[in-house]
Amino acid sequence: MAKIYVLRLGHRPKRDKRVTTHVGLVARTFGADRFVLVGSDSKVVSGLNSVSNRWGDGKFEATSTKDAKKYVEQWKKSGGIIVHLTMYGLNLSGFDMNKVRGKDLLVVVGAEKVEPWYYENADYNIAVANQPHSEVSALAMFLDRYYQGRELDKGYTSKLSIKPMENGKYVTLIPNELECIDILKNEKVDDKLLLHSKAVYELAVEIGKRANANLNLITAGALLHDIGRSKANGLDHGHIGAEILRKKRVNEKVARIVERHIGAGLTKEDVVKNGLYIPKKNYVPITYVPITLEEKIVAEANNLIYGSKRVRIEKTIERYKKEGLNNSAEHILKLHKELSKKCKIDLDDLCTD
């Protein structure tokens, strides 16, 4: 897959710290893979990486280089394309983006007067309206045209995320391991349940790595999956736990993992039969059956843990059948086979009786 890097020229630490940071933030939000600062300014670089880790998946990276010309030359030698954003170039409105799509792209953004060498060595010098304005807006417009607006819809699974609202501010959290333990202790879960949760977490992470799932979501969902048992031990503990987390402004994706972890999920028939609450969104019932990969992995890990020990799936299925839950047992086996196929290993092999 083609990569896009943004090279920032002419940064002056005492004067340009704020605007250079904004160039980096635009690079990240509008789809670039890396921001490369020419020169040394550890505060700008570390600040951008901190944003990437807290508000994104950490895949965007900010780095620095001492030799900009060498960086450009090496990029060209590797077959990449150089685009230099300047008010003197070809107007963006008439530029054919297909000339640069699908190829590794280095976008050069200057902070002060740029040497003629960069104009001469760029494959394309591109301008926005051929008028003086901010390099921040030039980069944003170029990347938006490149991605045709799709970069704004990619979404992030990050430690912090914003829930869009017409009025006010609402920030949700994906807690890390230590934060999850604190949440459980604040809800006064007992030591036995804590050990069970840690065992599910450890197994879920193993499965998640094999399935290339989001480990931040799995960590939080697995550790918190039984938080509802601090209030009730029936089939409704999944929904109760999800509501506890929603009140704490934990990310909705984590809450849904907790809500859908029981067995291989609770069907509408299970819900009606047991008189459970059916959550609704816009008056449409929301299922208790795991849908996302992370939801399925936590449910599967929970099925392979009895107390704090790992067990093979047949043991869990036998337990469900003894309780007369044959339909649920079939769904549990189906989920086990689905995830084993995805992980290219029988997940029983991760367990011992």
Q: What pLDDT was estimated at residue 153?
A: 76
Residue 211's DSSP bridge partners are: none
Question: Model confidence over 9-32: pLDDT tens digits?
Answer: 999 888 889 999 999 999 999 999
62-83: average pLDDT: 96
Please tell me what DSSP assigns to residue 39: S
Percent of the chain with pLDDT over 70: 92
Residue 85 marked as a ligand binder: yes
CA dist 206 and 187 (Å) reads: 27
Is 113 annotated for ligand binding?
A: yes
Would you say residue 347 has pLDDT above 90? yes
Q: Provide the strand spans (E) within the chain.
A: 4-8, 34-38, 61-65, 81-91, 105-109, 124-127, 160-162, 171-173, 280-281, 284-285, 305-306, 309-310
Tokens, residue 73: 């030359």
According to CATH, what is the number of the domain 4-153? 3.40.1280.10
Q: What is the pLDDT of residues 116-160, one digit of tens each?
A: 999 999 999 999 988 888 999 999 999 999 999 887 777 776 777
Is 131 assigned to a binding site? Answer: yes
Is the model more confident about 228 or about 54?
228
Q: What is the mean pLDDT of residues 33-40?
A: 95
Question: Which is it for strands 280-281 and 284-285: parallel, antiparallel or unpaired?
Answer: antiparallel
73 is in an annotated binding site: no
The C-alpha atoms of residue 251 and residue 295 are separated, in whole angstroms, by 13
112 is in an annotated binding site: yes
Q: Is 132 marked as binding a ligand?
A: yes
pLDDT at 275 > cutoff 80? no
Q: Is 323 annotated as a binding residue?
A: no
130 is annotated as contributing to ligand binding: yes
Query: Who wins on pLDDT, 90 or 167?
Result: 90
Does residue 244 or residue 1 have the better pLDDT?
Answer: 244
Residue 273, marked binder = no
Is residue 160 marked as binding? no
111 annotated ligand binder = yes
pLDDT band at 113 (very low <50, low <70, confident <90, very high): confident
Q: Is the pLDDT confidence value at 309 over 70?
A: yes
For the purposes of burial, counting CB atoms within 10 Å of the CB of 50, is it exposed (0-12), middle (13-18) or buried (19 or more)? exposed
**Does the 172-350 domain belong in CATH 3.30.720?**
no
Structural domain spans, the chain: 4-153, 172-350
